[in-house]
Amino acid sequence: MRLMIMFDLPVDTASERREYRQFRKRLINEGFLMIQYSIYERVCVSRKTATFLENRIKSFLPTSGVVQSLMVTEKQYNDMHFLVGNPVDDVRNSSDRTVILCFYLIYLIKRWL
């Protein structure tokens, strides 16, 4: 499951630019990666996790502009076509990373016990 956040925020005044920077920084701190300007995504384990993240994002929305979210399955995401340009193979942007982190966490727990 992927959660995509798309936004178009005004940057005319200093306060609007500050809100834009803060919103973008919070998305990055929540684990989102930029796939295009103003389009960020994050791999989620389940729809429940994606809904939880969506609710967290609602808590720090900017006061103006447009912010949209979209939940897509891995199959839907992998059916995306690149009309111009090439996909970037980034391990941070794959569901394989989630599995590796789970195995590493299990390893650490067993080692600690």
Report the half-sphere exposure of 9 (CA within 13 A, side-chain side): 25
The reply to whether 111 falls in a domain is no
55-101 pLDDT, tens digit per residue, is 999 999 999 999 999 999 989 988 888 888 777 666 555 555 555 56
Identity of the residue numbered 57: I
Which distant-in-sequence residues (6+ apart) come within 8 Å of 87 by Cβ?
none
In a domain, 32, yes or no: yes
Domain that holds residue 30: 2-87
Statement: residue 53 has pLDDT above 60: yes
Secondary structure E strands in 1-113: 2-8, 33-36, 39-43, 66-72
Work out the mean pLDDT of the chain and round it to a whole number: 86
Residue 47 lies in a domain: yes
Query: In this structure, what CATH number is given to the domain that contains residue 78?
Result: 3.30.70.240
8 belongs to an annotated ligand binding site: yes
Tally of domains in the chain: 1
Asked if residue 1 lies in contact with residue 45, where contact means CB atoms within 8 angstroms, the answer is yes
Question: Does a structural domain hold residue 93?
Answer: no
Residue 108 lies in a domain: no
CB atoms within 10 A of CB 4: 17
User: What pTM did the predictor assign?
Assistant: 0.76
